[in-house]
A and B are shown apart, each in its own frame.
Chain A
Amino acid sequence: MTVPASNSLPPDPVLVAFNRFGLGARPGDREMLAGDPRGYLRAELRQADIAMISLDDPAYAGLLGSTPAIQASMAANFQLQRERTAAAQPATASAQAVPAQALPAQITPAHPALAPAPTDKPVVPQVEATLFRAEAQARFDKAVRAKAGFVERLVCFWSNHFCVSVAKDILIEASAGAFEREAIRPFVLGRFADMLLAVEHHPAMLLNLDNQQSVGPDSRAGSNRKRGLNENLAREILELHTLGVGSGYSQADVTSFARILTGWTMAGRDGRLGEPGNFVFNANAHEPGDAVLLGKTYPAGGMGQAEAALNDIARHPATALHIATKLARHFIADTPPPSAIARLAKVFAKTDGNLRALAAALIAIPEAWSTPLAKMRSPFDYVVAIRRATGPGPAKDPGQSLGWLNALGEPLWQPPGPNGFPDGADGWASAEGMKIRLDIAWQAARQAGDIGNPNDMLDVLIGPAASPETRQAIARAESKQQGLALLLMAPEFQRR
């Protein structure tokens, strides 16, 4: 098999900036870089709040914080349940007409549009689906509006690192977008320990990894209710979020950490533990006593016990190495140069997990600019790059983009497991995946409307780095649409 000619030369730095580190060029974007791609990416890292999606911004209407989102879902499902109960007992007149004011006061939805539908109609579309689509639209919009998109790529990286799945629980479907906005985005250029704490406190993560049900066997709740430990969250924090598999922790550490984490839960609809949908520390479910994790004793201390443990493992050398490896693998190559990993791990340790410093170190690594663009764009990157190249899709409706992601095997916020979506080129350059990319390229090209001359599009989006073969294939296309589809399928558009 011949090696592509492009692999023998260092890649074009403009393509490195837009494809390896960014979300792809929009028409006109290449000029922004003004001959200094590295400097342009660095400047993105210095912009305050660049990662944030503000609820006050009219461009992102329809979003809710996770607490009201979860409350809306709880209220809708409570209502649905009552209707089902009522339908099951048609003879009982009183069950059919419960006055609205009989609903518990604390679950009034915060957003009028999300109030449960009148009782004589099914709730269509469901509250959770409405919230999910609004969050999806915001994520696509933010990605299409970003300049180079380096920080958005970092958001995606961390969101996949700390993934939750909307398939796991209806309350996660309602709050997955809010989770990303509340626990990931504020810390993407902040400290790793802060992101870790925010993630593990968040109801979406506690639900995703079953911790809301984990009860200390010797706690008050444990002895009364005959419920017990669930070690899922503890294991995945150690294996996936921080230290990494094979880094030396034992089954005893997992079990001990699960005990430490007992009581970290979400307040339920009844409001017994606190504001429904909020994180709450339930002392009744917390396993009492000191606990040993990785050889260190954490004295009994309620919620602080797990916080102290999280703060320690966030700074563990294994965590630095794990994060450095994943970051280098994601941005540089499936098999990253060891020197790059070592450098990132050193920066992580030296700066106490400062993620802005880590991102800056990443783009300062010489191999990041000399390694051939051999990785595949992930489905999300591919779909966003298409939107950026050809204009936004059907107005204000994320349905098509979401459908593309499903077909490509990367449904939004729905990874196959707690380890997130795969990151290797092998995973995305599958036979089925490439066939679907072809179908999507065709569909996008067909709906692009007036697309001008595809040869000019090539110059605007890829520039002088385009290979003669790609140039020729597009020049010989039998229609503008076909030319654009060829551009969207070209190796220069697929690889990063």
Chain B
Amino acid sequence: MSLLCETPDPSRRAILMTGGALFAWAYMPRFARAADNRDPRLIVIVLRGALDGLSAVGPVGDPDYAGLHGDIALSLAGPHAALPLDGFFALNPAMPVFARLYGNNQAAVVHAAATGYRERSHFDGQDVLESGFAGPGHVTTGWLNRALESLPAGDRVATLGGLAVGPSTPLVIRGAAPVLGWAPLSLPTPGDGLAARVLDLYQHRDPVLAVALQKGLDADRMAVDDKMGKTMKPKGGLDSAAGMRQAAQGAARLIAADDGPRVAALAFDGWDTHVNEGGATGRLATLLGGLYGVFEEFEKGLGERWKDTAIVTITEFGRTAQVNGTVGTDHGTGTVVLLAGGAIKGGRVIADWPGLKPAQLYEQRDLAPTSDVRAVLKGLLADQFGLSAAVLGDKVFPDSAAVKPMRGLVA
């Protein structure tokens, strides 16, 4: 696009580094390491559109799987053989990095998982997934932001705030706790004084816009590699493999910094595979290949921080167990949660497998959910940041006390 052809002027960023910022986190002295030398990070990836869990991690050992999932079922044989995980489940071959991490006990799968939502509207389903409330209709704050807010005052993770990747802030991280926004995109930058003048005007007339603009300017500065002096150019939207990889690259750089955010949210679109979904090759496999790039970039970019990092990949619901009339799948229920990172106690598929016989399917069409996605998320928040079950069941995921945190996900 024509607007991207100019080299940004770094001087505006230099000004803002010394100028009055609304958010202190970027300017704080470096924190001393915690006593146990752990510095936990949590990255939440939301796949919008509903991921087909049965094509991402196929239950190849289930005798009913191949028949139900038809031409798009994964198989251990053939030219695009799935990657065996544990003798019952096998991974889509588009994700070799995930398989390697799994082999190194740094990746795990929770299968047959769903939130508490049992209808099949994407938009309500995403609202439930991201808001953390038991039902739809809550769209102002997300569970990840409320988790930050629930940490004790002065807690390092809370002070450092969150990171939202993409041109708009995903609901999961919206809320009162400070959030930095960043997207892999650049434009010719304005003259030195303009940003400061607009900020000054906003501070007098429109504080909400002042906060947003300041955060945008801060994030832009953080994501630029000062040594290289170059800004990353966009390579594609957040529903393309290249765009996904690039988003992870920039996010990793921000999160790896000593004074960078410790929690982050990324949202990727495009998983609504009603038609010609493909199995081991095709549209879904291409998207999963993008996800594989995301894991790879985080592993690379986080460096020594990788060992303290947990990445969790969630989606609003699964898809029908049986392929539809157009070699795709329609909206369903149970699906997978993918976990990766040095902090994950991996090398296992966690599933209370419900089976795929007609009577075992939810409403005779979907993989029945036997694990609650909230249990997984609660377990991660408890293990990484020490949030109590009481706070998780009330403030972070309201009215969910009955859903116990799944402990031991973190090594």
Cβ of A210: which chain B residues have Cβ within 8 Å of it?
274-275, 326, 328
Residue of A nearest to B3 (CB): A403
- Minimum CB–CB distance from B228 to chain A (whole Å) comes to 20
Q: Does A214 contact B (CB under 8 A)?
A: yes
Q: Does B402 contact A (CB under 8 A)?
A: no
Q: Does A163 contact B (CB under 8 A)?
A: no
Q: Are B325 and A222 in contact (CB under 8 A)?
A: yes
Cβ of B330: which chain A residues have Cβ within 8 Å of it?
230-232
Q: Which of B2, B205, B216, B326 contacts A435 (CB 8 A)?
A: B216
Q: Are A482 and B328 in contact (CB under 8 A)?
A: no
Q: Does B169 contact A (CB under 8 A)?
A: yes
From known contacts A232-B274, A407-B187, A477-B197, infer whether A416 and B48 are also in contact, taking CB-CB under 8 Å: yes
Residue of B nearest to A416 (CB): B269
From known contacts A251-B120, A467-B205, infer whether A485 and B194 are also in contact, taking CB-CB under 8 Å: yes
Cβ of B328: which chain A residues have Cβ within 8 Å of it?
210, 230
Cβ of A469: which chain B residues have Cβ within 8 Å of it?
201, 204-205
CA distance A123 to B123 in the complex (A): 39
Q: Does A241 contact B (CB under 8 A)?
A: no
Scoring B123, B174, B197, B220 by chain A CB atoms within 10 A of each residue's CB, the highest score goes to: B197
Q: Are B180 and A417 in contact (CB under 8 A)?
A: no
Cβ of B193: which chain A residues have Cβ within 8 Å of it?
478, 482
Residue of B nearest to A217 (CB): B325
Q: Are A435 and B213 in contact (CB under 8 A)?
A: yes
CA distance A467 to B205 in the complex (A): 8
From known contacts A251-B363, A426-B174, A432-B166, infer whether A491 and B325 are also in contact, taking CB-CB under 8 Å: no
CA distance A197 to B174 in the complex (A): 38
- Which A394-444 residues sit within 8 Å CB-CB of chain B? 399-400, 402-404, 406-409, 411, 416-417, 419, 422, 424, 426-436, 438-443
Q: Does B331 contact A (CB under 8 A)?
A: yes
- Which A257-281 residues sit within 8 Å CB-CB of chain B? none
Residue of A nearest to B363 (CB): A251
Chain A interface, DSSP helix/strand/loop, else mixed: helix
Q: Which of B120, B136, B139, B167 contacts A408 (CB 8 A)?
A: B167
Q: Which of B4, B119, B191, B209 contacts A403 (CB 8 A)?
A: B4
Q: Are A230 and B326 in contact (CB under 8 A)?
A: yes
Q: Which of A230, A239, A430 contacts B212 (CB 8 A)?
A: A430
Chain B interfacial residues counted at CB < 8 A: 68
Q: Are B191 and A482 in contact (CB under 8 A)?
A: yes
CA distance A430 to B220 in the complex (A): 13
Interface size class of A (residues with CB under 8 A): 35 or more
Cβ of A408: which chain B residues have Cβ within 8 Å of it?
167
Q: Are A434 and B213 in contact (CB under 8 A)?
A: yes
Q: Does B217 contact A (CB under 8 A)?
A: yes
- Minimum CB–CB distance from A301 to chain B (whole Å) comes to 22
From known contacts A4-B205, A407-B3, A431-B180, infer whether A473 and B197 are also in contact, taking CB-CB under 8 Å: yes
- Minimum CB–CB distance from A228 to chain B (whole Å) comes to 2
Q: Does A130 contact B (CB under 8 A)?
A: no
CA distance A433 to B209 in the complex (A): 10
Q: Does B109 contact A (CB under 8 A)?
A: no
- Which A1-50 residues sit within 8 Å CB-CB of chain B? 1-2, 4-6
Q: Are A400 and B3 in contact (CB under 8 A)?
A: yes
- Which B16-56 residues sit within 8 Å CB-CB of chain A? 48-49
Q: Does B207 contact A (CB under 8 A)?
A: yes
CA distance A403 to B324 in the complex (A): 37
Q: Which of B119, B188, B218 contacts A439 (CB 8 A)?
A: B188
Q: Does A490 contact B (CB under 8 A)?
A: yes
Q: Which of A232, A406, A417, A438 contacts B190 (CB 8 A)?
A: A438
- Which A458-496 residues sit within 8 Å CB-CB of chain B? 467, 469-470, 473, 476-479, 482, 485-486, 489-491, 494-495
Residue of A nearest to B5 (CB): A403
Q: Does B252 contact A (CB under 8 A)?
A: no
Q: Does A90 contact B (CB under 8 A)?
A: no
Q: Are B205 and A433 in contact (CB under 8 A)?
A: no
Contact flags (1/0) for B79-123 with A, using CB distance below 8 Å? 000000000000000000000000000000000000000011111
Scoring B4, B188, B194, B363 by chain A CB atoms within 10 A of each residue's CB, the highest score goes to: B194
CA distance A404 to B180 in the complex (A): 22
Cβ of B220: which chain A residues have Cβ within 8 Å of it?
435
Cβ of B169: which chain A residues have Cβ within 8 Å of it?
426, 430-431
- Which B153-205 residues sit within 8 Å CB-CB of chain A? 164, 166-169, 174, 179-183, 185, 187-191, 193-195, 197-198, 200-202, 204-205
- Minimum CB–CB distance from A125 to chain B (whole Å) comes to 15
Q: Are B181 and A440 in contact (CB under 8 A)?
A: no
Q: Which of B2, B49, B121 contacts A400 (CB 8 A)?
A: B2
Q: Does B62 contact A (CB under 8 A)?
A: no
Q: Are A431 and B181 in contact (CB under 8 A)?
A: yes
Q: Does B146 contact A (CB under 8 A)?
A: no
CA distance A164 to B122 in the complex (A): 16
Q: Are B212 and A246 in contact (CB under 8 A)?
A: no
From known contacts A228-B325, A417-B48, A438-B213, infer whether A422 and B274 are also in contact, taking CB-CB under 8 Å: no
Q: Are B167 and A432 in contact (CB under 8 A)?
A: yes
From known contacts A407-B185, A409-B167, A482-B191, infer whether A4 and B206 are also in contact, taking CB-CB under 8 Å: yes
Q: Does A213 contact B (CB under 8 A)?
A: yes
From known contacts A230-B275, A251-B120, A417-B49, infer whether A432 and B326 are also in contact, taking CB-CB under 8 Å: no
Q: Are A1 and B120 in contact (CB under 8 A)?
A: no
Q: Does A322 contact B (CB under 8 A)?
A: no
Contact flags (1/0) for A298-334 with B, using CB distance below 8 Å? 0000000000000000000000000000000000000
Cβ of A167: which chain B residues have Cβ within 8 Å of it?
237, 239
Cβ of B214: which chain A residues have Cβ within 8 Å of it?
431
- Minimum CB–CB distance from A133 to chain B (whole Å) comes to 13
- Minimum CB–CB distance from B86 to chain A (whole Å) comes to 33
Residue of B nearest to A229 (CB): B325
Cβ of A220: which chain B residues have Cβ within 8 Å of it?
none
17 extra A-B contacts, CB within 8 A, seeds A411-B237, A430-B167, A432-B167: A1-B207, A230-B326, A403-B2, A407-B3, A417-B269, A419-B122, A430-B168, A430-B181, A431-B218, A432-B168, A432-B219, A433-B212, A442-B191, A442-B194, A478-B193, A489-B198, A494-B206
A-B contact pairs, 13 of them (CB 8 A): A1-B207, A230-B275, A231-B324, A245-B119, A399-B2, A417-B122, A431-B219, A432-B182, A435-B217, A439-B188, A440-B187, A442-B188, A485-B198
Show the binding face of A for B, using Cβ within 8 Å.
1-2, 4-6, 167, 210, 213-215, 217, 222, 227-232, 235, 239, 245-246, 251, 399-400, 402-404, 406-409, 411, 416-417, 419, 422, 424, 426-436, 438-443, 467, 469-470, 473, 476-479, 482, 485-486, 489-491, 494-495
Instruction: State the 8 A-B residue pairs at the shortest beta-carbon distance, nearest first.
Output: A228-B325, A435-B216, A431-B181, A442-B190, A409-B167, A403-B1, A431-B215, A439-B187
